[in-house]
Amino acid sequence: MPPTLALRALILSLATVLAAPSPSQRTVEIEVVDHRGKPVLGVPIVVSRLSPLGTRRIEDSHTTAIATDANGKASVQIPRMRENSLIGIAPRILTARPIVEEFSASDLSAIPESLRFALPPFGSVRVYAQDSKGEPRKMRSARLSLANRRNQRFDARAQPEVRPTAHDDNSATFGFVELDLRVSARLRIHEAQESFSIEGTGPTRERELKVLSGDCANPSPLIRMRLVDRKGSALTRQPVVAVLAKPGQVWSQRVETGPNGELEQRIPRGFYSARLYVVRRGEDRDLSRRYLGAAQIDLPALSEGQTVEVERVALQEEPVLITGHVVDAAGKPLPDATVFCSASYAKPQDGRIFGDVPHLSHRVCTDENGRFELREMGALPESIALNISHDTHALPSGPIEVAPRASGLRIVMSMASELRGSFAPFPDGVSKWGGEILLWPEGADRDAKSALPAVQEATAFRFSKVAAGSYELGVFLSGARTASHIRSIVVPPGGGTIEIDPVVDWTEFCGCYRFEVVVPDGVRSSRVQAQHWMPRNDTAWSGGGLQRSTDKRYTAFASPTESRLVFRHRKCRPVVVKPPFRDSKITLERKAEGRFRVSNLPDLLGAKPRWSAHATPPKRGRAPFARSSASVITETDGILRIFSDDAGAHDLRLNIAVPTGERRFRMAGFSVRVELPDKPSDTVMEVAIPQSELEQLQATLEDLRDR
């Protein structure tokens, strides 16, 4: 074939490949209907990553605000995510039980091409923001959630707050809210530094629009000033940090000055009597977080909506905390090394800055001569630990302990190496080692500040930026505090990549076992807690979670003599598996269960009570995995469902929170004794509050009425 034709054919084939659909994502057709099977218009579809596998915690959302059309249908793109995570696809609706379909991110092709969601009966909620005078306030954002997530059986990890479907200046509308829920709206208002909450009962009839409003959106106090530098020149459009400090508390925010150095700062509630600091620092690479000046401003007593004018504020130079220079093993200066100061402060009683302020951490970069200078932050620390990081060098001994106001420090760094190791092959279906892999200097221990965790990828692991020296490598089972395998490693000077040889043969110190968990009807298998426990010392134990694979089996790397495996669910009795281990099926049995109602509960000011409870069984085991447990679930109609390993008498401690307007009051608890039947029953049994505690509760309610 002539060269021209061959080149043309190559270009044509490349174009064909590029035009093909990307295998890194998948298109799924979504259909949403109501409880009668009719299509629902305008339901947003959420695509989220739930990670790590089995914990159902939302890490991020890939939602593109795609809503269903008039036919209740929408087409969404599922992007590729980390392989050890789950993909959650759900309609954005506020429900007591999350509506979500979960799939493994390891294989997008396993996700079906179409999904159908059936919504429970729903209505909508509109929230208005107004101040204490009833005047509307301009709203920046709004979110809606269940008012009492724990007692409403709401899983905050699987379903976060929902956003409004419509929004204007002083109101927000949430279009899809399940009926008979108590909801809480979190609002952010213009001219207010903090957010506000409005609580109330949501819609009670299908398609009802429930209106909530609250007089909580008052403006925060405003401080106006004009900033100048140490030379008297106006700080024009410069980034600064505003810090409010009072005894025991500190608050900070990054702001920017105006064209003439003017600065406006809102003061959040709780800091009306605090001391205000304004700190300027460099933002470029050479002056990373280096302080260029600070000012202390003593504020008068403030109130909501108040404006205070402060005359010209001049920044002053902060005292020097530490000075030094960083060099390599040959004595040559190391520029662009990041010096981070971890300081320990005594809590002063005069409201000075202390502790870790996120925007004011002690962090600078060395200059071209390897020199650095750290300055104070309004208070002198008691002790200091310096840690230095560099792209190609590392500290051989970890953090350096120094005294405050030390000067002329000389810090030597050596060339950094990368250590790479691997395990012997894992059984089929096991993705990675379930425990920790740590590296620490010889003579230290695993709890040392200089201990490095490994980055794990399947059977491989690696340590980055390791200085020359002698180390110990420790391999830990899940949750264990003592290493099951230790070996010595010597890192030579000169840097580069070092292979750890031979591979870690896990079969020499543990076994790998697979377990399938079977739960009773009505129990969600995703809520099963699978744990691995190891003895920490003669009296204590430590535990960690087990891996859950895509086939819903649990994988345990376990010691053949010391490990204990526990499978538990709040509605089921725990199962403890002891050595010898083998691949097997674990069947969970239901706990003893009873349904109760408090018969002599007094009038709670017409409000819907919120219950929290703690049930204490008569006996408890010594080891954490052997302890008998009890749990309480509050149903929406006020019925208490109590679960315990054993039937019989149980002492129950109840607390009530009664919402009155925009406030929540938590009462003193009272004790009742309940009798759990041997078998679950739908019968609701009556329990009564003891007379002495009933009188105390009634007195508390009378006090609330007087307020």
pLDDT digits (tens, 9 = 90+) for 81-105: 765 567 888 888 888 777 888 787 7
Name 685's bridge partners. Answer: 596
> Can you tell me the distance from the alpha carbon of 227 to that of 276, in angstroms, rounded to the nearest whole number?
13
CA distances from 77 to 104, 105, 110, 129, 579 (A): 15, 13, 14, 36, 47
Identify the band that residue 151 occupies on the pLDDT scale cut at 50, 70 and 90. very low
- Residue 537 in contact with residue 481, Cβ under 8 Å? no
Q: Mean per-residue pLDDT for 39-44? A: 92
Q: Mean per-residue pLDDT for 396-420? A: 88
According to the model, what pLDDT value does residue 115 have?
92
Over residues 465-482, the pLDDT tens digits come to 999 889 999 999 998 888
Which residue reads 């050595």 in tokens? 579
According to the model, what pLDDT value does residue 379 have?
65
Q: Mean per-residue pLDDT for 368-372? A: 91
- Residue 327 in contact with residue 412, Cβ under 8 Å? yes
By CB neighbour count within 10 A (0-12 exposed, 13-18 middle, 19+ buried), where does 664 fall?
Answer: middle
SS3 (DSSP) at 19: helix
> Can you tell me the distance from the alpha carbon of 118 to that of 103, in angstroms, rounded to the nearest whole number?
18
The neighbour count for residue 123, using CB atoms within 10 Å, is 21
- Residue 364 in contact with residue 289, Cβ under 8 Å? yes
Secondary-structure breakdown of the chain: helix, strand, coil percentages, each rounded to the nearest 5: 5, 45, 45
* DSSP-H helix ranges across 559-645: none
Amino acid identity at 260: N
Tokens of 38: 């009719």
Strands 139-146 and 371-375: unpaired
> Can you tell me the distance from the alpha carbon of 185 to that of 173, in angstroms, rounded to the nearest whole number?
11
Over residues 166-198, the pLDDT tens digits come to 888 888 999 899 998 888 888 888 888 878 888
Select from 35, 36, 43, 99 the least CA-distant residue to 70. 43
According to the model, what pLDDT value does residue 3 have?
45
For the cut 60, the answer to whether the pLDDT of residue 21 exceeds it is no
Select from 564, 555, 547, 694 the least CA-distant residue to 621. 564
> Can you tell me the distance from the alpha carbon of 291 to that of 280, in angstroms, rounded to the nearest whole number?
6
In terms of phi and psi (left: phi > 0; alpha: psi -120 to 50; beta: otherwise), the region of 189 is: beta
Q: How far apart are the first and last CA of the chain?
A: 95
According to the model, what pLDDT value does residue 272 have?
87
Dihedrals phi, psi of 646, to nearest 5 degrees? -120, 145
Which one has a higher pLDDT value, 280 or 16? 280
According to the model, what pLDDT value does residue 422 have?
94
SS3 (DSSP) at 354: coil
- Asked whether the bond before 580 is cis by omega within 30 degrees of 0, the reply is yes
Amino acid identity at 624: P
Select from 214, 225, 223, 226 the least CA-distant residue to 272. 223
CA distances from 309 to 20, 218, 227, 252 (A): 64, 20, 13, 20
SS3 (DSSP) at 584: strand
> Can you tell me the distance from the alpha carbon of 322 to that of 402, in angstroms, rounded to the nearest whole number?
9
Name 633's bridge partners. Answer: 641
Strands 320-327 and 409-412: parallel
Identify the band that residue 660 occupies on the pLDDT scale cut at 50, 70 and 90. very low
CA distances from 500 to 420, 427, 453, 489 (A): 6, 22, 15, 8
Average pLDDT, the chain: 79
> Can you tell me the distance from the alpha carbon of 281 to that of 331, in angstroms, rounded to the nearest whole number?
30
CA distances from 637 to 461, 602, 608 (A): 52, 16, 10
The reported pTM is 0.61
> Can you tell me the distance from the alpha carbon of 188 to that of 401, in angstroms, rounded to the nearest whole number?
43
Name 298's bridge partners. Answer: 275
Identify the band that residue 53 occupies on the pLDDT scale cut at 50, 70 and 90. very low
Tokens of 652: 């129950």
